[in-house]
Structure 1
């Protein structure tokens, strides 16, 4: 009698969720440390903000350190969006406790959290890291659920989105973050490939984002006129060579002074910059 012997399928190794969580926090720290950034908080100045500084951001990052690991675990387990949202709401509460009620990372909790979950889920399914584009395109796995989740209509970003009729982060996420795939990542890869320092590559990417997206933070602070003005400033900086040109730091600091005079801060672009750095770094681990 022939007896068929079936080899047991090896268990797929667990995704290193803690490592993805650390990469997410490091990416937010890289955005904070990058300088000069027009209107944004850096270790050296508060930009257009009177209520926060680098210390506020560092307290927030410390409070969020477990969130990104937890949402990576959830992504690897293919958890429903309701579970991801629960982690996000808890993270937002922890952030507000740590900062005394100041919103430092609400946008990043959503977008970077989804990308961390998508990266972990991709790894669990395919046994290897996904490219930046593959991770972005994995986010719409949850789109049907997060599109119908309740919105905080009182938040500045939501008020600006409704008032000006522009898409927000949910629409970007549901489409697989085309702004990251088609603009931010190619800019960042090109800058690094041409030998720019990390700071210069990040600043070049930031200014491309400011030039080309409808940043809800800019709309909230300056309206349509403020957004258009900021985009023009970014376009002019890039047209003069951006961070590839000698003396770029001084020119960007001058741009920053004009942003501060108008109290403008491209916080949405900063969130996407941190997401871009995470997507690049997770490819290598």
Structure 2
């Protein structure tokens, strides 16, 4: 995997870690940040082009959305390239959480300018951004890039602040409204716990499919359905309330119970699920954001456990 050469951990024997306020990224590590940013954008693209993807925007159709299409997502992705570089570098510098949060707020503003005010990637900005910071921190410490190490680094470095951030309701959105109305969890709650759905649900599902020889496309389908079956998605609650959320989990679990993408008729059943979600205007955007994070981890860690 030549594209991951730059992501091998940099071990510098005898090098003392400078305090956070004095830390800086060595010039030799700048290519690492650039490559990680490229992988983050590629992961968002991998999520976009996946199909059939129930209720979600793809290159084939707009899913349950009348206000956005694939071109909207592409503009958003291009606007986020610098953000992933900056937050990876901030992670390498052991930046405090308020710095990461500020970078995320700036990235949201750039996204909104690029899309004409449409929220395409707010959840991904939060999720993939924090993962880039944690991966950068692992690199700075010379830690082998394994999923468990990345998750532990995220919680050790910023876990307390993430916990406080999960209860911050100052910024209103469809997600915060759904949390308050239905007690549904969302990206902030996932972040506060170190994204357990990414590390414990989505990534294992993807790897099982790859180990079974199903290929990346079907592995990503299985990861998406596993996430849909598991998470409490505020995007779904906003559009469909508790009944819609129950319908999403029920259909996702039925798809998995039939063998997922290993079943001969998997594509037909995934398309039927897609049509059902579109008819009900359901869109599991939270699961899509987490799938992007799963794709990033797989690109960075490969087969490392």
Q: TM-score range by the shorter chain?
A: over 0.9
Deviation at 1:176, TM superposition (A): 1.7
Distance 1:270 1:10 in 2: 40
4+ residue segments displaced more than 4 Å: 8-13
Partner of 2:247: 229
1:167 pairs with 2:167: no
Match of 2:120 among 75, 91, 104: 104
Please, which of 154, 165, 169 is the counterpart of residue 139 of structure 1?
Answer: 154
Pairwise CA distance, 1:147: 3.4
Asked whether 1:259 is paired with 2:277, we answer yes
Structure 1: which 5+ residue stretches go unaligned? Answer: 1-7
TM-score, normalised on structure 1? 0.92
Displacement of 1:167: 2.7
Q: Tell me if 1:21 matches 2:58.
A: no
Which of these residues, 214, 222, 244, is aligned with residue 196 of structure 1? 214
1:1-285 aligned within 5 A: 9=14, 14=29, 16-125=32-141, 127-140=142-155, 141-149=157-165, 150-284=168-302
How far 1:14 sits from its partner (Å)? 2.8
Offset from partner CA, 1:251-284 (integer Å, 9 cap, x none) = 1111100000000000000001000110111115
Give the CA deviation at 1:111.
0.9
The 2-side partners of 1:172 and 1:278 are apart by: 17
Structure 1's 175 and 146: CA in aligned 2 closer, same or farther, altered over 3 A? closer
Contact 1:60/1:95, CA 8 A, preserved across alignment: yes
> Which structure has the larger Rg over C-alpha atoms?
1
Partner of 1:4: none
8 Å CA contact 1:137, 1:177 repeated in 2: no
Please say which of residues 206-215 and 257-266 is displaced more in the overlay. 206-215
- Aligned CA RMSD, in angstroms, stands at 1.8
Aligned residues: 277
Question: Which segments of 5 or more consecutive residues in structure 2 lack a partner in the other structure?
Answer: 1-12, 17-25
Could you give the per-residue CA deviations for residues 185-208 of structure 1, whole angstroms, max 9, x where no partner exists?
111111011111211110111001
Residues 196-226 of structure 1: CA deviation (Å, up to 9, x unaligned)? 1211110111001111111111111100110
Once residues 37 and 148 of structure 1 are traced to their aligned partners in structure 2, the CA distance between those partners, rounded to angstroms, is 33
User: Which segment is superposed worse, 234-243 or 13-22?
Assistant: 13-22
| 2:283 alignment partner, SS class | coil
User: Distance in 1 between the 2:55 and 2:41 partners?
Assistant: 22
* CA shift for structure 1 position 152: 4.6
Residue 5 of structure 2 corresponds to which residue in structure 1?
none
CA spacing shift, 1:282–1:99, aligned 2, 3 Å = same
Deviations along 1:41-61, whole A, 9 cap, x unmatched? 010100000000000000000
Cα distance in structure 2, aligned partners of 1:61 and 1:180: 21
Q: Any conservation in 2 of the 1:64–1:95 contact (CA below 8 Å)?
A: yes
Contact 2:184-2:237 at 8 Å conserved across structures: no
Counterpart in 2 of 1:3? none
